Amino acid sequence: MRPEQWDIFKRAARGERMSRIPMSLIIDSPWIPGYMGIKHLDFYLDPELWFQAHLKIHREFPDIIFFPSWWMEYGMAAEPSALGAKIKFWPENTPSECHALHTIEDLEKLPEYDVNTDAFMALTLHRIQSQRQRILDQGEILPVVTSRGPLCTAGFVRGTTDLMMDILEKPEWAHKLIDLSTRLIIDWLKAQAEAMGPTVEGIFILDDIVGFLSPSHYKEFAHPYLKRICDAFPTDWVKIYHNDANVNACLEHIPDCGFHVLNWGKQTDIADVKRRVGNRLCLMGNVNPLEIGVRGTPEQVHAATLAVLEKSAGENIILSLGGGVSPGMPRQNILAMQQALAEFNKGR
């Protein structure tokens, strides 16, 4: 991400009226290796291949704000690995985790974590430190630190179904695990910020498991922890939340956590989201990423993009998909989104 692109993103996130709606896509290892025709293991383990893949995509689409910018990640391995989860790696797919807690009470047996030395957190920080200057030398910056959220991290370690049962049957233990996950996330984000340096001005939290909660359970088991994460960072930083599961239980509460931008899924139409949150959030979305982004024709992508833009009325929106770029999304469909946006911006 170039500095001027980050400035555009910040202005949109803070609700400024934009003469041109920006387009931003979340890209990471589910999409990049397939698009580049490389194996996932090579993408994770070969620093030069990782660097050149990002550089080629940024040069191929110079007008798109790729978010969060040169994402150093090993799939979703970093957060659960620091809490003892075994990680499996696959040549042609993103890694998967094996649950570390067979019972919720095993939480007391977990060793203390250290985000600077533990598992894939240590490898991620090393990648940041080794590649940071090369990225800056390209005229780009690292403005955002990233983590999976507290429910997502707890679900990786415990198992999502078991975590949901714990919330119902052993709520005091569920709180202990979510609290641990929250502390880990805050420390993890701060460690990334230190490694990236003074260009960091934002946090990006991804937590789809929040979408599995009822409104009352959201207020008890998610909201206080998401707010703690936002409150741990400067008030002038931009705070972005991703949840491409169901956002109905949490939608009106997300601004009160401290988030400025919401990237959400296909389940909730942008017109409904905008009606419910008004101008309290900048909406980053929400063209259907799979049925349209991957499987649709360019004509269908073009029409779906225009529909999202028109329903937004061109206010408080960053055009994106309803989630990250899904594996298999082709170049022509990205170009179709760009073309529809150019037409819409021309008519403003």
Question: pLDDT, tens digit, for every residue of 307-333?
Answer: 999 999 999 999 999 999 999 999 999
Which bin fits 77, alpha (ψ -120 to 50), beta or left (φ > 0)?
alpha
Q: Quick check: 202 and 238 in contact, CB under 8 A?
A: yes
The values of phi and psi at residue 65, to 5°, are: -85, 100
Percent of the residues in the chain that have a pLDDT greater than 70, as a whole number:
100
Q: Which two tokens stand for residue 259?
A: 């988030």
List of long-range contacts for 181-184, beta carbons under 8 Å, 24+ apart: 181/79, 181/83, 181/150, 181/151, 181/153, 181/154, 181/157, 181/225, 182/150, 182/225, 182/228, 182/229, 184/79, 184/82, 184/83, 184/113, 184/115, 184/153
Domain count of the fold of the chain: 1
Containing structural domain, residue 300: 3-346
All residues at 6 or more sequence positions from 345 whose CB lies less than 8 Å from its CB, including other chains: 20, 21
pLDDT of residue 103: 96
Cα 152 to Cα 147, 315, 320, 341: the distances in Å are 10, 31, 22, 33
For residue range 206-237, list pLDDT tens digits in order.
Answer: 999 999 999 999 999 999 999 999 999 999 99
Q: Which two tokens stand for residue 83?
A: 């809490």
Q: What is the mean pLDDT of residues 163-190?
A: 98
Q: Which two tokens stand for residue 181?
A: 């996950």
**CA pair distance 140, 27, nearest whole angstrom:** 16
Other Cβ atoms less than 10 A from the Cβ of 137: the count is 8
For residue range 100-140, list pLDDT tens digits in order.
Answer: 999 999 999 999 999 999 999 999 999 999 999 999 999 99
**CA pair distance 163, 181, nearest whole angstrom:** 13
What's the whole-number average pLDDT of the chain? 97
- Whether pLDDT at 175 is above 90: yes
**Looking at the DSSP assignment, which residues form a beta bridge with residue 263?**
242
For residue range 264-301, list pLDDT tens digits in order.
Answer: 999 999 999 999 999 999 999 999 999 999 999 999 99
For residue range 38-83, list pLDDT tens digits in order.
Answer: 999 999 999 999 999 999 999 999 999 999 999 999 999 999 999 9
- Whether pLDDT at 184 is above 90: yes
pLDDT of residue 348: 80
3-state secondary structure of 203: strand
Cα 42 to Cα 25, 35, 130, 145, 343: the distances in Å are 23, 14, 17, 23, 39
3-state secondary structure of 86: strand
pTM of the model: 0.98
**Looking at the DSSP assignment, which residues form a beta bridge with residue 261?**
240, 282
Q: What is the mean pLDDT of residues 187-205?
A: 98
**CA pair distance 281, 286, nearest whole angstrom:** 14
CATH number for position 222 = 3.20.20.210
For residue range 156-165, list pLDDT tens digits in order.
Answer: 999 999 999 9
Q: Which two tokens stand for residue 275?
A: 């009606």
pLDDT of residue 264: 98
- Specify the residue for token string 């061109």: 314
Cα 239 to Cα 227, 255, 261: the distances in Å are 11, 10, 7
From the list 288, 299, 297, 341, the residue with the least C-alpha distance to 317 is 341
pLDDT-based confidence at residue 199 (cuts at 50, 70, 90): very high
Q: Which two tokens stand for residue 68?
A: 């969060």
More confident residue, 348 or 81: 81
- Look up residue 23 and give its DSSP letter: B
